[in-house]
Amino acid sequence: MDPLADKVYPSPADAVADIPDGASVAIAGFGVTHRFPSSLITALRDQGAKGLTVYCNGLGQPGHPTAQMLAENRQIARLVASFSSRPGPPTVSEDQILAGAWSSRSSRSTLVERMRAGGAGIAAFYTPVGAGTAVAEGKEVREFDGVQHVLEHGIRTDYALLRAHRADRVGNVSFRGASRNFNDSFAKAARVAIVEVDEIVDVGEIAPQDVDLPAAFVARVAPTTVHIDVASLPRRAARPAGTGREYGGKPALTRQEIGHRVAMLLPPGGMVNLGAGLPNLAANFLGGRGVVLHGENGVLRYGGFVTDGERDPDLHDAGGNFITLEPGASFFDSVTSFEIARSGLLDAVVLGAYQVSGSGDLANWSVPDRPGGGIGGAMDLAVGAQQVIAMLEHLDSAGRPKLVETCSYPLTAPGCVDVVVTDLALLRRTPQGRFRLDEVARGFTAEEVLALTDMRVEVAEHVGTMQEAW
C-alpha cells in the first residue's frame, strides 16, 4: 500500500459500498448515542448487507442513527456486545435476542482487549474478568497467583466503522475529548478500518504529536454527513434525587442522601469510578475532597455533570452524562482506561446492584425476565479496585430484599463487595467474609433492618446513625 495514497472517499455510501453479506463489522461508539459513526451506519443500513456479525460496546438508542438501525433493518446475524439491553421498553434487537436469534455477552474490557490482541497478532490471553460468572461458561479457566483467570481469544474483523474529529488525506486521525473509546482497538483489529470525521485536512496539517491513530491502521476516510444535536439526546429516566421510600410508614434515606453517605466513604485524594445510575449521585458531595473521577470511555479527573446550558458532545462519562473537567484532566482510549481499572490503581469503585450476597457476590447486569443484559464495565471494575462499594435501595420494586444469602441473579463478580450502602443501612464485610451492620438510617432499629434483610448479618456492638456520618 502506498503510504501517501489518498484514502478519502467522496461519501460514507462510497466508503461502505463493498461490505458484503456475512461480513464481520466492529462499530465504535459509547452510551446510548455518543459519537457513533452515524453517517457510516446510515449508509450501511441503506446499502443493505445482511447476515452481519457486529461487535460493539452497545447498539445504542433506538430512534437515533446508532447501530440499532442495523438491528431494526434485520441485517445482524450475530451480536457481540457488552450492552445488549437497557432499561425501558424492549427494542427490536432485544426481541431478536429473546427469540434466540443472536447475542454473545462480553465485558467491556474483555471486548476491547480481544480486539487489541487480534490486531497485535496475539491469539489469546487470560483475564480475571468474568471468572466465576456466566461469561466464563464453556471457556478454559486457569489459576495464576491464586486468582482464577478466563481464556479469551483475539478477534479480527473484516471492517471497522469509526468516528473521529479530524483526519488527513492519508488517514492519520486525531480524536477530541472523551470520544476516543473503542476506536483505536477496533481499527487495529479490522482488515479495513473506515473512519468518518468532522474535518478532513491536507497531509501535514496534523502535527505528529497530535496523531492519535496512525494512518497505517486506517484504510478509508469519509466526511461526516449525519449530525446529532446533543441538546436532543435522550436522558435516562430516573426518580428525582430527593425522593425516597418508606418502610413501615417511616421514611428511609432519599436517593440523594444515600449518595451523600457513599461520598463520605471515598478516600480524599483517591482515584474513584462511579457506576451509572444511583452511584452518580455521590458526585454531588465530593467538593473539596480532591477525589479524582475515572470514566471507562477514557477520561480522568472530570468534575460535575452538565444538566443545563450548552453541552459539549465530546465531554461525557461512561454513563453518557455530560461533564466538566478539572485542572489536570486527561483523555485516552478504553484500553488505557481498563488498564487503570484492572491494575489496582482505583482506590474505590461504586456500583449499583440488583442483589448482594452474604459472601459479597455482586449481581448487577441482568435479571431473569429480561433478554441480554448490560454487563458494561462493571465486571472489569469489580475485579481490580481496592474497594468495591455497592449502592442500592434495601428492597426491590416488588418489596423483595436485595441483600440475600445467595444471589439468584447472574453474577457480575463473586466475593467482590466490601461495603454495602442502602437507604436503610451501612454494612461492612469483615475479615471473616461476612457482613456486619454498622449503621442504620435515623428512626430505624437494627432489628427492623435485619427483618428486611435476607442474609446472615453480624451486628456491631455500637450501631451508628447514617445521617450522623456526614
Q: Is the pLDDT of residue 198 over 60?
A: yes
The domain made up of 12-222 has a fold known as Glutaconate Coenzyme A-transferase (3.40.1080)
Quick one: DSSP state of residue 232?
G
CA distance 13 to 70: 15
* Nearby residues of 17 by Cβ (< 8 Å), 6 or more positions away: 47
User: Known catalytic residue: 296?
Assistant: yes
CA distance 223 to 13: 10
CATH superfamily of domain region 253-465: Glutaconate Coenzyme A-transferase (3.40.1080.10)
* Sign of the torsion formed by the C-alpha atoms of 72, 76, 82 and 84: positive
CA distance 90 to 70: 16
Q: Are 443 and 250 in contact (CB under 8 A)?
A: yes
Which pLDDT score is estimated for 310? Answer: 83
Domains 12-222 and 253-465 share a fold: yes
Q: Where in 107-156 does DSSP place strands (E)?
A: 124-127, 141-144, 147-153
Q: Are 186 and 28 in contact (CB under 8 A)?
A: yes
- SS3 of the chain: helix, strand, coil, percent, to 5: 20, 30, 45
Q: Average pLDDT for residues 123-127, to the nearest whole number?
A: 98
CA distance 455 to 39: 51
pLDDT per residue as tens digits for the range 309-368: 788 989 999 888 899 999 999 999 999 999 999 999 999 999 999 999 999 999 998 877
Structural domain spans, the chain: 12-222, 253-465
Q: Is the pLDDT of residue 371 over 60?
A: no
Which pLDDT score is estimated for 73? Answer: 95
Specify the 3-state DSSP secondary structure of 97: helix
pLDDT per residue as tens digits for the range 82-102: 875 555 555 666 666 655 555
What are residue 187's phi and psi, to 5 degrees? Answer: -65, -45
pLDDT per residue as tens digits for the range 408-443: 999 999 999 999 999 999 999 999 999 999 999 999
Q: Average pLDDT for residues 47-65, to the nearest whole number?
A: 92
The model's pTM? 0.93
Q: Helices (DSSP H) in 54-205: which residue ranges?
A: 68-72, 92-98, 108-119, 183-189
Alpha carbon 288 to chain centroid, angstroms: 27
CA distance 157 to 65: 22
pLDDT per residue as tens digits for the range 224-275: 999 887 766 656 556 888 999 999 999 999 999 999 999 999 999 999 999 9
State the catalytic residue, choosing from 196, 296, 393, 439.
296
